[in-house]
Structure 1
Amino acid sequence: MRRMNFRTLLCMCLLSLPILVNAQQKLSPNESKVMVNGTSTLHDWRCKVEQLSGNLDVEKSGTTIKSIKLMDVTMIVKSMKSLKEDGKYYDSGMDKNVYKALDADKNPQITFVLKKINSIGANGEVNAIATVKIAGVAKDLPVVGVAKVLPNGSVKITGKKAFKMTDFKVDPPKAMLGAIKTGDDITVDFDLLFK
């Protein structure tokens, strides 16, 4: 039997190690969805964010996320559109109340910037802290999501976050001269695809 030379042995050892790949990826806005859900004295409501962008820098090994070095998402306030139960849009009057409450002229964007990763579980569950800025007020919030590497190398991050509008000094919107009031609690559902 021939003896293996050192170079061949080294190559075989290196090939048996998991390969870590750094990937900088951009948010695919047409394949991503952010929904803001809330309540009111009349009925539950929801708004879809139509314009968003973002960046992701991850270290992955095969289909597993090993670390997230950077993640940011920017949402345009005046692209938020109120949706009916059937998926059709309400008239723009509903949206104007949202833009007014969020002071969209002075603060046209909502931003999410990853600050710290606490843990990444074997199933892709990510426990993190993010700096969220709404209506000019920035707060650090705990966020939990699931990150998955797709077969084509894209990364999908899904989850939801509940908080109060007043946490960001936002007065819950009112309509019909105050006859309809929205609740303070909202939930943001996110389904983000980075390519």
Structure 2
Amino acid sequence: ADRTLVLVLTGVVLGALAGAITSLLKILADPYDQLPAITFWLLGSLSGMHMAQVWVVAPVVLVGCSVLYLLRWRLNVLSLPEAEASALGVQVKPLRIAVIALATIMTSAVVAVAGVIGWIGLLIPHAARLLVGPSLARLLPMSIVMGALFLLLVDTASRSAGDLEIPLGILTALVGAPFFLGLLLRRAGASS
């Protein structure tokens, strides 16, 4: 419990620090040129994307997804307690570090060009798991396909909702937050 509390408090502190730095950058930015670009990037959009950016990011994502797929059986074993996973021959700590590093590199590459589009990485794997189960042999490809389709639908909705393009981060939060609230309520109902 103490480690969980420290982890949560560390997340809160780092989030507050990052928020303060972001606010400082917004205050120091040119209000006519840089500030709108910063704000739009923070809310996420595909409107400024060019194929050159896609070709830069695609190899990073393809390599990362390929490595994760090749590690799928080891990642399935990580759902077991650490002692059992180790008994099955999985080196738990190095594998966790590798997976976190891969996910961080892929996410950073995509966020660098498209901005912050939240909730997809939380929403889609849970929805895919409901459809195909927990095995990563099916879950990883389904998450990739569902994530791409979801982003396409959200981008289409953001561009066709009216005269003003709604940033994708806003729409994904409007879908993701109620979905997770439903999952939490479902889990609370099942445990009581």
TM-score (norm 1): 0.20
More helix by share: 2
Which protein has greater RCO, CA pairs closer than 8 Å, 6+ apart? 2
- Asked which structure has the greater CA Rg, the reply is 1
More strand by share: 1
TM-score (norm 2): 0.21
